[in-house]
A and B are shown apart, each in its own frame.
Chain A
Amino acid sequence: MESTLDIFIKAIFSENMIFAYFLGMCSYLAVSKTVKTAVGLGAAVIFVLLVTVPVNYLLENYLLKAGALEWINPDWGVNGASPIDLSFLSFIMFIAVVASIVQLVEMLVEKFAPSLYGALGIFLPLIAVNCSILGGALFMQDRQYSTILDATAFSLGSGIGWFIAIVAIAAIREKIRYSNVPAPLRGLGITFIITGLMGIAFMSFSGIKYGKDEVKAETVQVDDTNNTNH
């Protein structure tokens, strides 16, 4: 099993939301014109991911997963008399949680930190429709983290990875503002190409192993699948 630190570092670099999965591209492309707004949106994404993923983790494990309702009635567990599987509701539940928490966060920030609220502006409500937030929740469901701590580390790492990506491209776009880019590529075209080139640079971290044990575990897994295939 991966340690919490591995999950955190992996989520920042080798499984970066932008460069590995291309999630949250719309706001990444739209709000990366200046570093200042990019920092604002990036911070908001870190914050919202950090709140929504653990909440969704609790929902997933105590409400949605097959047999998750066992804590209410043992009959509803996976091995119970009448098992209940609510996982078909996960999309609608996750997005509802994201939207409501973004609203809640917005109200709280406005009440207690008006200066931060002013700095974030429109980006805070916009985050409700940022794919990387729902993506974070769905990855958490898919990867079945064993503890809420792991899920939180994953969410924080993903947020920081997204933050680094948008801030870096914002700085590059500020730098190339006076470049003589061919007319058809100006604006979004060149931004897509920069994103691809940045993806090459971020590939340096993919495949980092954190010790001998993990390598062994993987080879064993490969052997198993081979056997079942034959």
Chain B
Amino acid sequence: MKFLENIVHKMEPKFAKGGKLEKWHPMFESFTTLAFTPAIVTQKGAHIRDGVDLKRTMITVIMAMVPCLLFGIYNTGHWEMVAAAGDRGLDFWANGGAKFMAGLWVVLPLIVVSYGVGLTIEFIFGFLRGHSLHEGFLVSGMLIPLVMPADVPLWMVGVATAFAVIIGKEIFGGTGMNILNVALTARAFLFFAYPTSMSGDKVWMAGTESKVDGFTGSTALGDLATFMSDKPVFENLEAYTNNYSFFDSVWGMIPGSIGETSLIAILIGALILLITGVGSLRIMASFFIGGYVMGLILNAFGGNEFLDLPAHFHLAIGGFAFGAVFMATDPVTASQTATGKIIYGFLGGLIAILIRVLNPAYPEGVMLAILFMNVMAPIIDHYVVQGNIKRRLKRVKTA
């Protein structure tokens, strides 16, 4: 480490103002601050200082995503083999090493493309606008592969990442200024631009299309959504739970987007976020409560099997938990005020389940619900702040 530090210090004057490589300063700064805590200290006044800067915060979030990533890789490999054999009864834990390698072969290129495209664009913007590389993309670049179906073409991931980084973030001024969650913008862009590659029952397992005839790679949610139409996949709810039990969904042994399936891996990530204080408990908890309440409301209406699905199932299947823990808590696009966070999370969960059940076109409603709440977050904050001002003014007047 000392050796590396010496090299950096030696190089520093070249990149400083007036130096030979002045133009490359953003890139130099990005790499050095990634490796070392910057030596810049506050000159005047008393400030609370902390080693945890934006880069370290972002790396904490990435570490929280590692369980999801590892499980996602294994799960992807498992379902690829299921699709190849055309047999859903394949033992989940058998042949583990080969499954992990197969999954890695699918997931790793997605991560490389997402980081490659995103960081290149960030660098270009950094040069043109003279700011250092923005750290926010470290998290977005990992989230984007995790919310993609396993079979998505790589060029689509590249296009979506470019769209999300440029239109969703950089034109607003970069990290901290965007109004919509970057990873969700990428997913929504693909969802509306290339719907056949993002939904349906062909995309969730790598290589489904070419293998066995008559085998569908549908997800639990996709099958559930058919209860709303005339031709349900399962005869009744019992047949569904025989196929996907509640504990299958909690463990994550179901097909789906790469990172979203395992509730346990997501909860480990949530724990890391909460202990380090990076994620907001208010948003996570109220998001889950909102989803549960909407599940109960739909149960009360009843009428068909999807509406009758027990509310706790809703929390375990699909991207609900992943969205609640990693997407809704995005500190930039969520509400900023304490009360606002609770309202934001609760409505987000409510709308997510509402769209999931009532909108047959979008069984995965979590993404759109969070985007919708991103749009609404500033107005929630505005009225929370106005309410605080009003209350305090009253207190001043009465005192």
The answer to whether A185 touches B379, judged by C-beta atoms less than 8 angstroms apart, is: no
* Contact yes or no, B188 A209, CB < 8 A: no
A200 and B358 in contact, given A171-B378, A175-B179, A209-B228 (Cβ under 8 angstroms): no
CA distance A181 to B169 in the complex (A): 10
Residues of A within 8 A of B361 (CB): 206-207
Decide: B372 and A193 in contact? CB cutoff 8 A.
no
A197 within 8 A of B: yes
Question: Is A205 a contact partner of B355 (Cβ separation < 8 A)?
Answer: yes
B355-A200 in contact (CB<8A): no
Give A151-183 as 1s and 0s: 1 = Cβ < 8 Å from B's Cβ atoms: 000000000000000011011101110011110
Select the stretch in B107-115, B196-204, B363-371 that faces chain A: B363-371
B32 to A: closest C-beta gap in Å: 23
Q: Is the CB of A171 within 8 A of B355?
A: no
Interface residues as binary, B364-399 with A (CB distance below 8 Å gives 1, 0 otherwise)? 010011011011101101100000000000000000
Contacts of B369 in A (CB 8 A): 204
Measured between beta carbons, the chain A residues less than 8 angstroms from B167 are: 193, 197
Closest-by-CB residue of A relative to B366 is A204
B180: chain A residues within 8 A (beta carbon): 197, 200-201
Interface segment among A59-67, A85-93, A107-115, A210-218: the answer is A210-218
**B171 cross-chain contacts in A, Cβ below 8 A:** 181-182, 185, 190, 193
A180 partner residues in chain B, CB cutoff 8 A: 129, 173-174, 177
> Beyond A179-B173, A209-B358, is A197–B378 a contact (Cβ under 8 Å)?
no
Interface assignment of A43: CB less than 8 Å from any CB of chain B: no
Query: Is B33 in contact with chain A by the CB < 8 A criterion?
Result: no
- Interface footprint category on B: 35 or more
Q: Say whether A208 contacts B230, CB under 8 Å.
A: no
Check if A179 sits within 8 Å of B172, measured CB to CB.
yes
> Across the interface, which residues of B come within 8 angstroms of A171, CB to CB?
378-379, 381-382
Q: Is the CB of A215 within 8 A of B374?
A: no
Interface residues of B in 332-384 (CB under 8 A from A): 351, 355, 358-362, 365, 368-369, 371-372, 374-376, 378-379, 381-382
Q: Assess the A216–B371 pair: CB atoms within 8 A.
A: no
Q: Does B168 contact A (CB under 8 A)?
A: yes
Interface: B6 (CB within 8 A) = no
Among B359, B375, B381, the residue within 8 A (CB) of A209 is B359
Q: Is there contact, CB below 8 Å, between B229 and A215?
A: yes
Tell whether B185 is near chain A: CB-to-CB under 8 Å.
yes
Q: Do A202 and B372 have beta carbons less than 8 Å apart? A: yes
Q: How far is the CA of A167 from the CA of B365 in the complex (A)?
A: 24
Instruction: State the CA gap A194–B351 with chains docked (Å).
Output: 21
Q: How far does the alpha carbon of A167 sit from the alpha carbon of B372 in the complex, in Å?
A: 14
Chain A min CB distance to B349 (Å): 14
Residue ID in chain B nearest A34 by CB atoms: B382
A28 to B185 CA separation, bound complex (whole angstroms): 24
Which A residues are in CB contact (< 8 Å) with B371?
200-201, 204
A residues contacting B by CB (< 8 A) are 35, 167-168, 170-172, 174-176, 179-182, 185, 190, 193-194, 197-198, 200-210, 212, 215-216
Which of B's residues lie within 8 Å of A, judged by CB?
Answer: 129, 167-168, 171-174, 177, 179-180, 185, 188-189, 192, 228-230, 304, 351, 355, 358-362, 365, 368-369, 371-372, 374-376, 378-379, 381-382
- Given A172-B378, A204-B362, 6 other A-B contacts at CB below 8 A? A167-B379, A193-B167, A197-B167, A201-B188, A208-B358, A212-B230
16 contacts between A and B (CB under 8 A): A171-B382, A172-B179, A174-B378, A175-B179, A175-B381, A180-B177, A197-B168, A197-B375, A200-B185, A200-B189, A201-B375, A202-B375, A204-B369, A206-B361, A209-B359, A212-B230
